[in-house]
Structure 1
Amino acid sequence: MTRIDAKFAALKAEGKKAFIAYIMAGDPDFDTSLEVVKGLPGAGVDVIELGLPFTDPMADGPTIQAAGQRALDGGMTLQRTLDLARAFRETDDTTPIVLMGYYNPIYSRGVEKFLDDAKAAGIDGLIVVDLPPEEDEELCLPAQAAGLNFIRLATPTTDDKRLPRVLQNTSGFVYYVSITGITGAAEAQATNVGPEVARIKSATDLPVIVGFGINSPEKSKAIASVADGAVVGSAIVSQIAAGKPVAEVLDFVKSLADGAHSA
């Protein structure tokens, strides 16, 4: 059982919804990023989604693209991202970390070496948005064999014919993208999300977590009320981009987490 599996089992036993926070590794710099990440569990975050900076982030909107560029400009790399996770693990051995990014840096490193290094750094799961199910032998199956969850995205365009293929080798949880488009582009609507979550849950026992377009405690609560939890990224990254002190960023995260947990 991975840390992700254990966390969702514990939340289910408590009757609580999950709150997941996305942070771009190395934004605006390594030390500040690490300080934020270290503060997330205390702010109520159940799972940390750690963004891997990449030069061509096709699924990300302007906010997260800019965060990735700031991180890259500051010298952030795949190795430094793993170093950040390892530093976090020095004081927290229980909070799950999901590494979210694109396949190119992983491919360049070599899948076997990457998986060994990710496990050693304390990574629990992967979201690699540009590897479809047809490419499962590339990374998904090796990751699962190495003891890492491979989390797949489902979207409003994932119809009933496609859904079984998407779910086939998914583990940890299913990430439902609430809108058609890029991150931060529009607001999620619980009335639209609810039926889609129910459709996915009828096909899997995995938790279904909803992300994209959640930017306030009220929205976090509304979305979590129709799913197993909520993910917030762009709204948190925006706080960091505005130069807010770490304490203020974490206060905002706590308000979002409280919203999801109150659902």
Structure 2
Amino acid sequence: MHGLGNDFVVIDARDAAIPAMTPAVARALGDRRTGVGFDQLILLEPSATHDFRVRFFNADGSEAGACGNGSRAVALLHGAPAMVETQGGTLRLEPFEGGARVDMGSPRFEWDAIPLAYPMDTFAMPVGWESLAGPMAVNVGNPHVIFFVEDADAVELDRLGPLIEHDPLFPERVNVNVASLAGPDHLKLRVWERGAGLTRACGTGACATAVAAVRRGLVKSPVRVTLPGGDLAIAWEPGSTILMSGPAVESFRGSFRWEDYS
């Protein structure tokens, strides 16, 4: 499946036992030359407290707390409203024709909720990496830093993204967002995803960036966020949860032998 070109392998293990998913298996499946290939792997499992549980693995095998585009794919696959358990908290999914709306929960702004290595103002962080400086940090199930720039396309994100992702300031690494203002309710965004690199779209990045832009008074909600793969609609006001709406698509179904990747 994919959401705006951000692509996923979805394994539905809600009604069938499978071997344990490990970072090595996820990494092997994620190899685009010798595996199946994906930005994230999504594993659906039973839950004792929710309709089901969803786990997200990056292409490097690391596990993420949330995935916005992936959550819309899950909603479309499930085909009905659901409350799902994730590492980053409870999500409410509501599919519609060609996509879904997801309540992503409330953003977190405390330095230790991002988390950062030491206390710091997350509204305008007193740090910088070359031309990128003064970001805001937001946790929306996984950690993001957001830089507002004149031209998002002009930033060497393929070079600066990994430097920032792996900076010791971020003990759990971080997703790196560069955004430029395109209108009073419109942002242009590119994202370097933790564990996945440059992707065509990032749902949690769109959420975090819209929240940051609303907090700084740059845009009004709802916000149209344009990524390389297309547009998402993000609605958020201070004190409320984040509502993300956008498309999702099933590309194909297939099978593999588990022993080939373990």
**How does the TM-score come out when normalised to structure 1?**
0.33
More strand by share: 2
**How does the TM-score come out when normalised to structure 2?**
0.33
More helix by share: 1
